[in-house]
């Protein structure tokens, strides 16, 4: 069953899945997850499997190993791997394939490494267990793989335990683990989703190089189109457990056939002309903040928000951008500095603010699921601020709720629904309506679109822009997604490690020259161009000159 890497000929059919049906068990019934999907993969080929959450891409990826995750079952179809029928194989033979000829790289490396064993032991475990190589040989090979994947201290890092290395390093170690047995096929299951953009670039580059070097075929599962554009030779788009479109990567990016595929691309085209105003509604002035300890989460942060415009605060996790929102809302009183609203200082602590001050600043959260009480109906949720701030009741209240629902493009039939009776996008719309109900002047949007699927994101962003025009609302838009920033902002504030790196008009910030960090951040954001990663790496190799591929 062993295959010699030297004898691999690219182009032969390696994996042939035909008419796959998979069902999942929930709410006491089996319901279909994958409804008749075909998948063909040739040797040395990388297939990008994309789709929104719930499209069944991860389930399909695991099925390519002949494995149905707990709570799922494969009901129909054939899975042929190099001429072997995986569905008819017994467990013992399937195990012989797993970890030797087919390997898997999981989304969360931190949870998928056993905390009790050293990295290198886990990396070579399958190779040694399957008798492919003796332990010491496998280990020295693993060290070479670590080096190839550009892990620091490649000779010794394997002696560490999983909790002793960073997330990006773990993800690379897991790639080394998959590669250790020189498999014919690797399944990458959203391997970079949990990483920051700047880390993601390094991991992507390392994975792509090693897969190319060994001519390994791979299925790369992701929801991020730009990432898949860098990795894949062919792309398969899934939706509701069915194939929407199959095409070579370049063709798919330039000439998508199906309307759904086109709509996935469309969000990138949303663009807003930048505007500004001299009237400053919110001024954050020299603010320091910390969570009790000595470590400052924010240090000397100053920024201005002009009325009626959208200011985007960008930065990676740990940059302090969410803490800034907490300071402005009064949840975390700053240790130094002040916050001016309409030129008047706001009381720093929430409890000292008046009802009217609270009303003027509203907030919308990233996870609409947790931002609404699951036991309250839509009427309760939207109605409460109306009662609380404006003292509406009875018929007036109902009319106003109905008006707000129509503003967010929903109708009265939603009034009595509970949050779990709404879809993701509808939930976020209700949250917007709740904020709107207070007649606010400023709305803080904390990553409001990042938990949503591409097509829904677009709808929400359009809605926000329309409401801004209608009611002259100011947005403070916290996000890590540069594409969203380009689409809706007027001004940009770049944050890094609790400090403001840069603030300015969108077009100024997005065009060179940049400070070093802004440069790194902007250049790390994957673009829809399949050559983007190659060019980026080349330009970075040329000593990080300023002429990196910008827009």
Give residues 434-493 in contact with other proteins (rule: CB under 8 A): 434, 438, 455-456, 459, 463
- Long-range (24+ apart) CB contacts under 8 A made by 534-539 are 536/201, 537/205
- Rounded CA-CA distance 419/430 in Å is 9
Question: Does 511 help bind other proteins (rule: CB under 8 A)?
Answer: no
Q: Nearest distance from residue 515's CB to other proteins, in Å?
A: 31
Contact 503, 471 (CB under 8 A): no
**219 CB contacts (<8 Å, ≥6 apart)?**
41, 46, 47, 49, 61, 64, 185, 186, 187, 188
Tell me the C-alpha to C-alpha distance, in Å, between residue 166 and each of 44, 146, 149, 152, 468: 30, 14, 14, 11, 41
Region 366-405 residues binding other proteins, contact defined as CB under 8 A: 367, 370-376, 384-385, 388-389
307 vs 384 by CB, closer to other proteins:
384
Question: Does 214 help bind other proteins (rule: CB under 8 A)?
Answer: no
Region 333-372 residues binding other proteins, contact defined as CB under 8 A: 350, 353, 355, 358, 362-363, 365, 367, 370-372
Strands, E assignment, 240-348: 242-248, 280-289, 298-306, 310-314, 336-341, 344-345
Contact 306, 491 (CB under 8 A): yes
19 vs 164 by CB, closer to other proteins:
164
Question: Does 69 help bind other proteins (rule: CB under 8 A)?
Answer: yes
Tell me the C-alpha to C-alpha distance, in Å, between residue 88 and each of 61, 79, 97: 18, 9, 13
Question: Does 331 help bind other proteins (rule: CB under 8 A)?
Answer: yes
Would you give the DSSP letter of residue 102?
E
Q: Nearest distance from residue 454's CB to other proteins, in Å?
A: 11
Question: Does 503 help bind other proteins (rule: CB under 8 A)?
Answer: no
Question: Does 422 help bind other proteins (rule: CB under 8 A)?
Answer: yes
**From the list 4, 6, 28, 278, which residue makes contact with other proteins (rule: CB under 8 A)?**
28
- Rounded CA-CA distance 149/87 in Å is 34
Question: Does 71 help bind other proteins (rule: CB under 8 A)?
Answer: yes
Region 253-272 residues binding other proteins, contact defined as CB under 8 A: 258-260, 263
Q: Nearest distance from residue 289's CB to other proteins, in Å?
A: 17
In this structure, what are the phi and psi dihedrals at residue 313, rounded to the nearest 5 degrees?
-105, 115
405 vs 522 by CB, closer to other proteins:
405
**From the list 22, 67, 157, 443, which residue makes contact with other proteins (rule: CB under 8 A)?**
67
Question: Does 98 help bind other proteins (rule: CB under 8 A)?
Answer: yes
- Rounded CA-CA distance 400/473 in Å is 19
**From the list 12, 38, 409, 508, which residue makes contact with other proteins (rule: CB under 8 A)?**
409
Q: Nearest distance from residue 297's CB to other proteins, in Å?
A: 17
Q: Nearest distance from residue 305's CB to other proteins, in Å?
A: 18
Chain centre distance of CA 86: 32
Instruction: Give the number of residues in contact with other proteins, rule: CB under 8 A.
Output: 89
Q: Nearest distance from residue 72's CB to other proteins, in Å?
A: 9
In this structure, what are the phi and psi dihedrals at residue 380, rounded to the nearest 5 degrees?
-60, -45
- Rounded CA-CA distance 175/53 in Å is 24
10 vs 331 by CB, closer to other proteins:
331
Six-digit token string for 521: 């951040």
**From the list 130, 139, 172, 486, which residue makes contact with other proteins (rule: CB under 8 A)?**
130
240 vs 299 by CB, closer to other proteins:
240
Q: Nearest distance from residue 252's CB to other proteins, in Å?
A: 16
Q: Which helix (H) or strand (E) holds 531?
A: none
């Amino acid at each position: 069953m062993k295959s010699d890497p030297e004898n691999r000929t690219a182009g032969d059919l390696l994996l042939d899945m035909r008419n796959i049906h998979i069902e999942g068990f929930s709410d006491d019934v089996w319901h279909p997850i994958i409804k008749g999907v075909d998948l063909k993969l040739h040797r040395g080929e990388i297939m990008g499997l994309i789709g929104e959450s719930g499209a069944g891409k991860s389930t399909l990826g695991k099925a390519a190993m002949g494995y149905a995750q707990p709570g799922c079952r494969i009901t129909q179809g054939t899975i042929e791997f190099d001429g072997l029928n995986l569905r008819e194989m017994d467990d013992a033979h399937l195990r012989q394939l797993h970890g030797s000829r087919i390997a898997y790289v999981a989304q969360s490396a931190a949870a998928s490494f056993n905390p009790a064993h050293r990295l290198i032991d886990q990396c070579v475990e399958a190779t040694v267990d399957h008798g492919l190589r003796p332990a010491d040989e496998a280990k020295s090979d693993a060290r070479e793989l670590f080096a190839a994947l550009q892990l620091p201290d490649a000779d010794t890092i394997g002696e560490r335990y999983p909790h002793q290395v960073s997330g990006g390093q773990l993800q690379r170690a897991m790639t080394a683990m998959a590669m250790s047995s020189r498999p014919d096929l690797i399944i990458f299951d959203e391997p970079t989703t949990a990483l920051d953009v700047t880390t993601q670039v390094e991991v992507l580059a390392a994975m792509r190089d090693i897969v190319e070097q060994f001519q390994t075929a791979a299925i790369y599962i992701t929801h991020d189109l730009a990432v898949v554009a860098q990795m894949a030779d062919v792309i398969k788009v899934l939706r509701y457990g069915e194939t929407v479109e199959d095409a070579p990567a370049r063709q798919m990016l330039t000439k998508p056939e199906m309307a759904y595929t086109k709509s996935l691309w469309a969000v990138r085209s949303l663009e807003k002309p930048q505007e500004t105003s001299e009237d400053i509604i919110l001024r954050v002035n020299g603010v320091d903040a910390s969570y009790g300890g000595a470590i400052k989460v924010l240090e000397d942060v100053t920024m201005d928000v002009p009325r009626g415009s959208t200011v985007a605060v960008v930065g990676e996790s740990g940059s302090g951008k969410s803490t800034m929102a907490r300071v402005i809302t009064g949840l975390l009183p700053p240790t130094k500095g002040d916050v001016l609203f309409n030129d008047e200082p706001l009381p720093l602590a929430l409890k000292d603010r008046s009802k009217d001050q609270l009303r003027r600043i509203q907030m919308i959260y990233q996870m609409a699921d947790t931002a609404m009480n699951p036991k309250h109906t839509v009427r309760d949720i939207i109605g409460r601020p109306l009662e609380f701030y404006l003292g509406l009741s009875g018929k007036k209240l109902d009319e106003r709720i109905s008006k707000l629902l129509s503003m967010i493009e929903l109708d009265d039939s939603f009034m009595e629904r509970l949050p779990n009776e709404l879809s993701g996008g509808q939930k976020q719309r209700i949250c917007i309506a709740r904020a709107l109900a207070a007649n606010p002047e400023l709305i803080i949007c904390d990553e409001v679109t990042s938990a949503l699927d591409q097509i829904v994101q677009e709808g929400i962003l359009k809605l926000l822009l329309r409401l801004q025009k209608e009611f002259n609302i100011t947005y403070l838009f916290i996000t890590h997604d540069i594409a969203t920033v380009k689409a809706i902002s007027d001004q940009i504030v770049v944050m890094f490690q609790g400090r403001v790196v840069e603030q300015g008009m969108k077009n100024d910030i997005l065009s060179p020259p940049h400070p070093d960090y802004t440069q790194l951040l902007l250049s790390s954001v994957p673009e829809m161009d399949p050559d983007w990663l190659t060019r980026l790496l080349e330009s970075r190799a040329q000593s990080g000159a300023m002429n990196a591929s910008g827009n």
